[in-house]
Structure 1
Amino acid sequence: MTDHAVLTITRRVLLVVVLAIQLVLTLPQLVGSPHGPSAWVAYGLLTSVLGIVAGNVAAARPELPAWLAVAPLAASVLATTALPAGASFGPADWGFGLVGWYLLLVLVERPTALLAALSAHICFSIVWFAHAGNGDIGTAGVVILSGTSFQLGVLVITRVLHRDARLAAEAAAEHDAARTREELARQREQDLKAGFEGQLGALLPLLADLADEQVSVADQTTRLRCSVAAVQLRRLFAENDDVPDPLLHELTACVDVAERRGVVVSLAVSGTATPVPTEVRRELVAPMAQALAAANGRAKVSLLRTATEVRVAVVADAPETLPEAGTAEAVTVETSVHSGLVRSEARWRTA
């Protein structure tokens, strides 16, 4: 249950309680005792507050403005000053307890403001009692203690309910967050597994051919297939690293594999890091990875990033034929092989 739900239920219950007290207990006291005209003004003022609160509750708006507490405080002054002589905290003092309940009704979600308003109400009543000077102090003490302690008890119970609702909401949110993290981790694991399976699927025929001695590592084509597989796997491992610039990280991983084979590679980077989706990064890196896998001398890789475009290009010494790099959907790829040089460029428009 949320704080909003707790506040709605609390205000509905208090609304019923206040209405019952005003009609069943207060109205007979007001009618049966002599009061000044301002007592009826105070009663009407409290009734108008009751109508405002009932309208908000009916409209599912349990929050009330704090300034609404001014009306019960004004009613407290009017009702107290209209009491007959010596009637403070007696049976005719209908306003003391009722005003306290109204303050609780209006300010239940604001405990600090409620305590301040109750204190002002009680202090004024005590001052007026002392001003009249002809009441029973013992009776006054019992009335003040019994009335305010019950109202404060309701406030404490309400705050406990609010705290429990908040803790329950936090626990539910943490539980949902944990389940979300678990689901994301599971989905990520599945994506990784699918990616690795896709790469291994390309390797399995090569491994099977090597195991069955269908091909030989002495063959140039076989070595090229092995080189391509190594670059692809290294790029796949780099794809799942948590780094600030994933695209550059994947390019560097492919360059590292080529350098380990003895290829001299230069890498030029221009522009600031731009967020690139994983699928797009794969398509941008794939042609360059194929060229580096086939390179046998030197290679130059360049990464250009602007506000509207990301471009990965490579020029490398390579054989006249290259293995298929697959199809690209999100990027534009141009590759050409001429006179022992491969030129490949992949472009992705960011906007």
Structure 2
Amino acid sequence: MNETADRVLGGCRIAVLLATAAIQLGLSLVRLNGTASWIAFTALAGVLVVAAWWVLRWKPVPRPVALAGAVVVLAASAVAVWTLPPDRLLGDEDWASGLAGWHLLVLLLDRPAVAMAALVLQMTLTFFRQIGSATADRSEIGSVVIVGLSVVAFQAATLALVRVVHRRAGEAAAASAERDRLVHRKALAEQREADQRSRFAGQLGATLPLLAGLADRTLDPRDAVVRERCALAATQLRRLFAENDDVPDPLVHEVSACVDLAERRGLTVTLAVSGEPAPVPTNVRRELTGPLMTALVAARSQARVSVLRTGDEIRIAAITDGEPATRPNGSGPVDVEWHAWGERSWMEAKWRSRPN
């Protein structure tokens, strides 16, 4: 959003710079008269060149440079104005009164409040020159005030227009960015939904033969192996449901889902978690919790589960009082170890976010 708005404002700066340069060279140069006028003209031209160093590179004039340049512009304008007779102010020979305001806009376009104050101050110097003249009458003072206010009003309107364009560009960019975010969120949601359907279909496809075997009585639910297969399928489905939940710590949430289902089967399970939550890709979480489900399904009465997070490493370990019939090995970035001590079984799944 800011980048687009800044580009628009940069284009406005260049347009004001070029317009000011055209006015100074095309309309003011031919009206110079006297050494003081040439000095003021040269000072204004120098300010314009210095400002162009930043403006033409699409950058705002730095604050110290802008303020110093504004002082030079006001001084040059005062010199040019006070060398003219009062009756010639804002006339054909008064090239500086209107031109100085455009130089102030080039310098202070990014600071509208300061720019407006500088424009008013610059024109006030012209009014003081007229009012301070003993020969000026009310009609002359009134004419100078009217013309001066017209010049300031036009320059102020230009300043306001540039700021409105800048604000509208920012709002349009923000609206466009919001539309892009909504489209991106919709695409992500659709992708997650498609992935979820695919995972559910795959899990159900693996579970259907088990259900069919139980239905046609080719599998005996009293068989320990069959019961383990049913428990494993139920745990896999429960973890799959948990995977789709929006929670601050998905890994611990999915581990807790596996533990919860084991407790529902009558097991006594203790869960210990240490370390700060860390982002873990979905496929890695599946690889970490897969061996845990197998270990919990094989447990007969109790299990101890721990989740350890240290630096760039995450470990999930389980100690159970049962030995699984099969020990799934890790795949991809997850390493899995199994050990047996008598009737106890120990499993650890390990993942490093930055492999050595």
Shift of 1:350: 5.1
The residue that corresponds to 1:347 in the other structure is 350
| Alpha-carbon separation, structure 2, partners of 1:272 and 1:103 | 55
Q: In terms of mean alpha carbon deviation, does 189-198 or 268-277 score higher?
A: 268-277
- Whole-angstrom CA distance in 2 between matches of 1:101 and 1:247: 62
| Partner residue, 1:12 | 14
> Per the alignment, do residues 306 and 152 of structure 1 end up closer, same or farther by CA in structure 2, a change over 3 Å counting?
closer
Q: Structure 1, residues 97-152: CA drift from partner, whole Å, max 9, x if none?
A: 11112212222222111111111111111111112232312321232122112212
**Do the aligned partners of 1:284 and 1:312 also contact (CA within 8 Å) in 2?**
yes
Distance in 2 separating the partners of 1:123 and 1:301: 81
Cα 1:6–1:252, aligned 2, differ >3 Å: closer, same or farther? closer
Q: Deviations over 1:30-73 (max 9, x none)?
A: 24xxx4x2211001111222333444444x23412322222211
Whether the aligned pair in 2 keeps the contact of 1:7 and 1:62 (CA below 8 Å) is no
The residue that corresponds to 1:328 in the other structure is 331
CA distance in 1, matches of 2:302, 2:59: 74
Alignment match, 2:122 = 121
- Report the alpha carbon displacement of residue 231 of structure 1 after superposing the two structures with TM: 1.0
Answer whether contact 2:81 2:89 (CA < 8 A) is retained: yes
Look up the match of 1:39.
Answer: 37
Match of 1:167 in 2: 171
- Normalising by the residue count of structure 2, what TM-score does the alignment of the two structures yield? 0.86
- Stretch of structure 1 that moved more, 325-334 or 118-127: 325-334
What is the one-letter code of the residue matched to 2:181? A
Aligned residue identity for 1:38: A
Q: Distance in 2 between matches of 1:29 and 1:315?
A: 96
Distance 1:45 1:259 in 2: 86
Checking the alignment, whether the CA contact within 8 Å between 2:55 and 2:61 is kept in structure 1 is no
Deviates more, 1:211-220 or 1:247-256: 211-220
Q: Deviations for 1:191-246, whole angstroms, at most 9, x for unmatched residues?
A: 32333233223212222333444323233322221111011111222223233333
Question: Structure 1's 299 and 89: CA in aligned 2 closer, same or farther, altered over 3 A?
Answer: closer
For 1:55 and 1:345, locate their aligned partners in 2 and report how far apart those are by CA, in whole Å.
64
Cα-to-partner distance string for 1:274-323 (whole Å, 9 max, x where unaligned): 4433333322222221121122222232333434643322232335x524
Q: Secondary structure at the match of 2:346?
A: strand
Q: 2:281 — aligned with what?
A: 277
- The 8 Å contact of residues 89 and 139 in structure 1, kept in 2 or not, is answered as no
Sort the Cα spacing of 1:166 and 1:347 in 2 relative to 1 into closer, same or farther, 3 A. Answer: closer
TM-score (norm 1): 0.88
Q: Quick one: distance in 2 between partners of 1:137 and 1:213? A: 111
Q: In the alignment, what sits opposite 1:258? A: 262
Equivalent AA in structure 2 for residue 74 of structure 1: A
Aligned to 2:58: 61
Distance 1:316 1:25, change over 3 A: closer
User: Residues 233-268 of structure 1, C-alpha deviation per residue, up to 9 Å, x if partnerless?
Assistant: 112222232333333322221122112122222334
What number of residue pairs does the alignment pair up?
A: 345
1:158-307 aligned within 5 A: 158-307=162-311
Contact 1:86 1:132 in 2 (8 A): no
Alpha-carbon distance between aligned partners in 1 of 2:11 and 2:308, rounded to the nearest angstrom: 61
For 1:306 and 1:202, how far apart are their aligned partners in 2?
Answer: 35
Paired with 1:271 and 1:102, the residues of 2 have a C-alpha distance of 61
**Helix, strand or coil at the partner of 1:2:** helix
Q: Judging changes above 3 Å, is the alpha-carbon distance between structure 1 residues 305 and 146 closer, same or farther for their aligned structure 2 residues?
A: closer
**Identical residues among aligned pairs (%):** 45
Instruction: State the 1:324 CA deviation.
Output: 5.2
Match of 1:151 in 2: 155
Over the aligned positions, Cα root-mean-square deviation in angstroms equals 2.5
The letter for the 2-side match of 1:282 is R
Counterparts of 1:339 and 1:16, CA distance in 2: 88
In structure 1, the residue matched to 2:71 is 70
Extract unaligned runs of 5+ from structure 1.
none
Distance 2:280 2:59 in 1: 47
Q: Does 1:2 align with 2:7?
A: no
SS in 2 for 1:182: helix
